Amino acid sequence: MNGAIFFSSRYGSTAQYAGWISDATALPVFDVNDANADPTYYDFLVLGSPVIYHKLLIHKWVKRNLIRIKAKPIIMFTVSGAPAGQKLDGWIAASLPGDFIARMTHVALRGRQNPKDLHFYDRMMLIIGGLINPDPVARREEMEGFDFMDKASIAPVVKLVQQFQSTEQDPPT
């Protein structure tokens, strides 16, 4: 089967993961803001999105393209400060339709946040969020930033893509 990667990224870490996945799989890669990014032509999709303010940045694109993509196998990689777990699952549930989530395969990756790179509004919001966050680890990450970028962590995404690429008709469930 023939697939492609569609990602959205605010500060570049999701774009970097998308590039690494493309290098490892030879799939074409598109920023969803690119006018030429059309998912229609592909049998399966890898979608990549950061979590920004408790939502997946790609959620509007998914809703706009739902008719075109809902029947295709989807590998969704999220990029966040928080690790895999209940908090992340809740943010995904708040961002995407339930039947879409039920059909996609999710891989959680962890990203990067450098306070020096942030736009003024985001910097202020994260400082305020950090001040009121009861979780000391999350508070420090919001205030001081973090770098959890890990090229090896794309391995589960690459493995899923390779399964789809070797499938002639019916995708693996």
Ligand X SMILES: Cc1cc2nc3c(=O)[nH]c(=O)nc-3n(C[C@H](O)[C@H](O)[C@H](O)COP(=O)(O)O)c2cc1C
Residues forming contacts to ligand X in the complex (CB under 6 A) are 9-14, 50-54, 79-82, 111-113, 118, 122, 126
- Residue of 1, 12, 5 lying closest to 111 (CA atoms): 12
Question: C-beta of 63: minimal distance to ligand X in Å?
Answer: 19
- At residue 104, the 3 state secondary structure works out as coil
Q: Which of 22, 80 has the CB closer to ligand X?
A: 80
Two tokens, residue 136: 């000391």
Question: C-beta of 21: minimal distance to ligand X in Å?
Answer: 13
Region for 131 from its dihedrals, namely left if φ exceeds 0, alpha if ψ lies in -120 to 50, beta otherwise: alpha
Phi, then psi, of 139 in degrees rounded to 5: -60, -45
Which residues have C-beta within 8 Å of that of residue 82, sequence separation ≥ 6? 51, 88, 138
Question: C-beta of 150: minimal distance to ligand X in Å?
Answer: 12
Instruction: State which residue has the least CB distance to ligand X.
Output: 111
Question: C-beta of 67: minimal distance to ligand X in Å?
Answer: 26
Q: Which of 55, 72 has the CB closer to ligand X?
A: 55
Q: Which of 74, 110 has the CB closer to ligand X?
A: 110
Beta bridge partners of 107: 77
Q: Which of 54, 72 has the CB closer to ligand X?
A: 54
